[in-house]
Amino acid sequence: MTQADSDPVIHVVDDEAPFRRSLLFLLESAGWTACEHESAESFLAARPPLPAEGGCLVLDIRMPRISGLELQRRLAALDSPWPIVFITGHGDVDLAVQAMKDGAVDFLQKPFKDHAFLDAIERAVNLSRTRQEASRRSSEARELLARLSPREGEVARLLALGLSNKEIGRKLSISDNTVHVHRQRVMKKTGAGSAAELARLILRADPDGLDGQ
């Protein structure tokens, strides 16, 4: 089975070897590429990057030393992009609530139906792809905005907020003509056709880009 580095990968972290192997076997049956880790530590040591086509983690809640929830917290701290599907042998509501609050995709109790598990995997992988796309477009926007000079950047931000040339000139203590020249350059460099488009670009680059006047 040949696979490219960009293909999605599912990482299974569970200390119970037979069960872990059965999950791998199931995932492979559904056509996924899967990797196994016998503990949280071994996954953290490997810290595989999220492939371009996405992927997800399958974590057992109860594991010796570092539990599934603990691993989730540590990954969040590391800004990990991996979506997480939890699996548990116990119907522990508190654990489930905590896991979902912390951004888990799903929380499955053993024994579970194969399609429920595979659906969860599908959703998690899609989520990873969406996140991947958003991140790619954000970096593109940041790249475009980086081409602007500091003054152009200021003019662009005020334009995105819907201010007129006259208002911008008054605010920046420059003439209307000067504002007009900057505006021409901003539109050219970013390729934005309107002030609204410019606003979307700025927000894509930085969701907080328009805050704090």
Size of the site for other proteins (CB under 8 A): 21
Stretch that binds other proteins, among 70-78, 105-113, 150-158, 184-192 (CB under 8 A): 105-113
16 contacts other proteins (rule: CB under 8 A): yes
Q: Does 150 bind other proteins (CB under 8 A)?
A: no
Any contact of residue 176 with other proteins (CB under 8 A)?
no
Q: How far apart are the first and last CA of the chain?
A: 55
Near other proteins by CB under 8 A: residue from 49, 89, 103, 207: 89
> Which of residues 3, 6, 22, 130 is near other proteins by CB under 8 A?
22
Residue from 19, 39, 53, 80 binding other proteins (CB under 8 A): 19
Strands (E), the chain: 9-13, 33-37, 55-60, 84-88, 106-109
Residues in Cβ contact with 62 at an 8 Å cutoff, skipping those fewer than 6 apart:
68, 88, 89, 90
Backbone φ and ψ of 157, nearest 5°: -60, -40
**What Å distances lie between residue 101 and 45, 84, 96, 127, 197, CA to CA?**
26, 12, 9, 16, 34
Binding span for other proteins by CB under 8 A among 22-30, 78-86, 132-140, 185-193? 22-30
What strands lie across the sheet with 33-37, from one edge to the other? 33-37, 9-13, 55-60, 84-88, 106-109
Residue-level length of the chain: 213
The owner of tokens 């974590």 is 59
Q: Which of 110, 136, 166, 180 binds other proteins (CB under 8 A)?
A: 110
**Binding status of residue 6 toward other proteins by CB under 8 A:** no
Residues 40-79 that bind other proteins (CB under 8 A): 62, 64
Among the listed residues 10, 12, 13, 23, the single contact to other proteins using CB under 8 A:
23
Which helix (H) or strand (E) is 89 found in, with range? Answer: none
Q: Does the protein bind other proteins through residue 119 (CB under 8 A)?
A: no
User: Is residue 112 within the footprint of other proteins (CB under 8 A)?
Assistant: yes
Torsion of CA 67, 73, 77, 79, to 10 degrees: 100
The region, left, alpha or beta by phi > 0 then psi within -120 to 50, assigned to residue 85 is beta
Whichever of 101 and 113 has its CB closer to other proteins, that residue is: 113
Select from 26, 52, 66, 172 the one that contacts other proteins (CB under 8 A): 26
Contacts to other proteins by CB under 8 A = 16, 18-19, 21-23, 25-26, 28-31, 62, 64, 89-90, 110-114
